[in-house]
Amino acid sequence: MLFAHLSDIHLGFQKHESLQKIEQQVFEKCLDECIARKVDFILIPGDLFHVNIPEMRVQKFAFAKFRQVHDAGIPIYVVYGSHDFSPVSNSVIDLLAEVGYITKVTKATSNENN
């Protein structure tokens, strides 16, 4: 089994345009490499985004990249990080899960038979 572990990505953190491009290029390279290596799944255990509802340009970029991974048949499991979650609002992670691009992992379960 081969999987990728991508953590504390903080998409949308950079405010300067040249740094935004680098931020996106690095994330894009990670996901492209996952597709090329045909990983079995991707785990993102927190802080995919820097805020729960990032700027529209960040959302569009993320949706396009996650659609590519989804179309390649690679599941993505995302755990809320402290920056992704808001107790008084939704998160773009909820929308990514709603369209089927990711699976939110919200609580652990135990299967004592295995």
Active-site amino acid positions:
83
3-state secondary structure of 30: helix
Instruction: Please spell the DSSP secondary structure of 69-92, one letter per residue.
Output: HHHTT--EEEE--TTT--TTS--H
Closest CA to 11 of 68, 74, 59: 59
Residue 25 has φ and ψ, to the nearest 5°, of -60, -40
Strand extents, DSSP E, the chain: 3-5, 41-44, 76-79, 103-105
